[in-house]
């Protein structure tokens, strides 16, 4: 607090000092009978030299940064498409660097060279068609090349993956990532945000999760029945605003429950098997070297951006819209540790969109394993599927898939919520 006050004081005093100095300068000009708008040759020459000095310092620091931090500081890409993107990025940077040197040289060197000289009148040069043509057509052509190449790469990255590609969903919310592997059948189960409950954070759709969502909406502690009871209880006194809020909440829940019943009616229980074998993974995303991955992105709240810097991939995650890209990691984490000569190196998935207060925490470690290790890891996860986490007392792994259908039918019949349909 004290430091901030001192800084503020220094800034205010500094501004006052500059104002006083300008006043002194004005008064002294008056004393020497010099008009303010008259700039002396000495001042002009001084400014011309400063322009040249600025150019030299600017170029010098640019070159120094490249020598110190490398051409781009990106390091080696860990996927084939990443290396192609690097090529495109380098092309862009070369063009930008040439333009940077060219335009800044013209700007600062000309300011130096064409400084006002005694007896030399300024040249009136209002227009030149050839020049206009040149600096319109050349940048347009260069930009067209960059944009066409970039669009081509973008289309490749977001195009449909091969049928054998491994499908992984990345679910983003403030402030973490959750991965969902598509399990043995390599198909992700369906989802719908209305099914979000405490033990179904990803809102995955099965007969059972729909029933459970309906039950919670109707009979849960904040469900419709509880709300109605409170609103109709003559012993509870509420201020009008609270009552309005509660009524609005009840109306919203009534709309939701209608949609849930529609969902329940349309839902095909054959699809449940797709969802039950999905594997939900937090903290670390394991990938298999040389296998193509199709990532599907979802967001629960705001727009996030999934950024894999080492694989040169980034995609916004948008509430209500599934986005997608694919890549094939081809350097394992162990190999990259050797390449970088850094035992602590790890690939990472970051959020690259300022999405709220704890945005900086929104990261997930990414580990690329050799195929054998990856298969071992996957095997260890096969008895921790969505079904196992949803029903903690689930049957052993072999029985899970066969029993899934039976249990759901039973659950559906037993659930009193379905009688109302
Ligand atoms: Cu975020």
Ligand 1 centroid from CA 114, angstroms: 52
Ligand 1 centroid from CA 294, angstroms: 20
Checking if the pLDDT of 138 tops 60, the result is yes
Q: Return the structure tokens found at 365.
A: 């470690």
Ligand 1 centroid from CA 199, angstroms: 22
- Classify residue 237: in a domain, yes or no: yes
Do 288 and 383 share a structural domain? yes
Checking if the pLDDT of 13 tops 70, the result is yes
Do 376 and 308 share a structural domain? yes
- Classify residue 52: in a domain, yes or no: no
Ligand 1 centroid from CA 359, angstroms: 5
The distance from CA 245 to its chain's CA centroid, rounded to whole angstroms, is: 34
Ligand 1 centroid from CA 93, angstroms: 28
- Classify residue 120: in a domain, yes or no: no
- Classify residue 6: in a domain, yes or no: no
d(CA 94, CA 104): 15
Do 373 and 314 share a structural domain? yes
Count of structural domains within the chain: 2
Do 310 and 341 share a structural domain? yes
Ligand 1 centroid from CA 178, angstroms: 12
Do 359 and 210 share a structural domain? no
- Say what the pLDDT of residue 417 is: 40
Do 226 and 328 share a structural domain? no
Q: Which strands form 304-308's sheet, in the order they lie side by side?
A: 284-288, 363-369, 347-351, 304-308, 313-317
Cis peptide before 213 (omega within 30 of 0): no
Ligand 1 centroid from CA 310, angstroms: 18
Ligand 1 centroid from CA 353, angstroms: 6
- Pairing state of beta strands 313-317 and 279-282? unpaired
Do 300 and 198 share a structural domain? no
Q: Return the structure tokens found at 124.
A: 């009136």
3-state SS assignment for residue 79: coil
- Classify residue 127: in a domain, yes or no: no
In contact, 298 and 204? CB cutoff 8 Å: no
Do 288 and 270 share a structural domain? no
- Say what the pLDDT of residue 415 is: 41
Checking if the pLDDT of 330 tops 50, the result is yes
Task: Give the burial class of 308: count Cβ atoms within 10 A of its Cβ; 0-12 exposed, 13-18 middle, 19 or more buried.
Answer: buried
Do 374 and 293 share a structural domain? yes
- Classify residue 257: in a domain, yes or no: yes
Q: Please identify which residue in the block is written with the tokens 């995609």.
A: 315
- Classify residue 269: in a domain, yes or no: yes
Domain of 209, in residue numbers: 183-276+406-420
Checking if the pLDDT of 82 tops 60, the result is yes
In contact, 412 and 418? CB cutoff 8 Å: yes
- Classify residue 236: in a domain, yes or no: yes
Checking if the pLDDT of 401 tops 70, the result is no
- Say what the pLDDT of residue 392 is: 60
- Say what the pLDDT of residue 419 is: 37
Ligand 1 centroid from CA 196, angstroms: 19
pLDDT digits (tens, 9 = 90+) for 69-78: 888 778 888 8
Do 266 and 414 share a structural domain? yes
d(CA 371, CA 380): 14
Q: Please identify which residue in the block is written with the tokens 């035992």.
A: 343
Do 218 and 257 share a structural domain? yes
Do 211 and 268 share a structural domain? yes
- What CATH number is associated with residue 383? 2.60.40.420
CB atoms within 10 A of CB 75: 14
Checking if the pLDDT of 396 tops 70, the result is no
In contact, 79 and 139? CB cutoff 8 Å: no
pLDDT digits (tens, 9 = 90+) for 276-308: 888 888 889 999 999 999 999 999 989 999 999
């Amino acid at each position: 607090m004290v430091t901030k006050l001192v800084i503020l004081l220094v800034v205010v005093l500094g501004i006052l000092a500059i104002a006083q100095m300008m006043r002194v300068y004005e008064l002294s000009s008056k004393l020497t009978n010099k008009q303010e708008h008259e700039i002396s040759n000495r001042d002009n020459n001084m400014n011309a030299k400063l322009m040249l000095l600025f150019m030299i310092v600017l170029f010098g620091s640019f070159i120094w940064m490249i020598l110190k931090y490398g051409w781009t500081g990106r390091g080696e890409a860990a996927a084939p498409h990443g290396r192609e993107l690097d090529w495109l990025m380098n092309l862009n940077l070369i063009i930008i660097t040439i333009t940077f040197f060219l335009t800044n040289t013209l700007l600062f060197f000309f300011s130096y060279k064409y400084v006002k000289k005694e007896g030399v009148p300024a040249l009136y040069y209002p227009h030149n068609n050839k020049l206009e043509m040149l600096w319109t057509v050349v940048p347009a052509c260069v930009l067209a090349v960059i944009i066409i190449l970039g669009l081509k790469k973008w289309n490749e990255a977001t195009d449909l993956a091969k049928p054998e590609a491994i499908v992984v969903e990345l679910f983003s919310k403030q402030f973490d990532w959750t991965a969902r592997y598509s399990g043995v059948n390599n198909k992700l189960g369906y989802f719908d945000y209305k099914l979000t409950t405490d033990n179904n954070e990803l809102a995955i759709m099965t007969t059972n999760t729909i029933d459970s969502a309906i039950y919670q909406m109707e009979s849960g502690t904040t469900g419709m029945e509880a709300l109605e009871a409170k609103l109709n209880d003559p012993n509870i006194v509420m201020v009008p605003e609270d009552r309005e809020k509660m009524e609005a909440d009840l109306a919203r829940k009534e709309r939701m429950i209608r949609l849930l019943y529609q969902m329940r009616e349309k839902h095909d229980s054959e699809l449940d098997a797709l969802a039950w074998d999905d594997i939900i993974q937090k903290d670390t995303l394991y990938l298999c070297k040389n296998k193509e991955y199709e990532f599907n992105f979802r967001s629960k709240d705001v727009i996030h951006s999934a950024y894999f810097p080492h694989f040169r991939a980034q995609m916004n995650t948008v509430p209500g819209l599934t986005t997608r890209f694919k890549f094939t990691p081809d350097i394992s984490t162990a190999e990259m540790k050797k390449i970088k000569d850094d035992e602590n190196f790890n690939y990472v998935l970051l959020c690259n969109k300022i999405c709220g207060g704890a945005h900086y925490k929104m990261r997930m470690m990414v580990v690329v394993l050799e195929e054998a290790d990856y298969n071992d890891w996957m095997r260890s996860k096969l008895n921790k599927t969505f079904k196992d986490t949803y029903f903690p007392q689930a049957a052993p792994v072999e029985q899970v898939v066969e029993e899934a259908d039976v249990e759901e039918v039973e659950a559906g019949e037993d659930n009193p919520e379905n009688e109302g349909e």
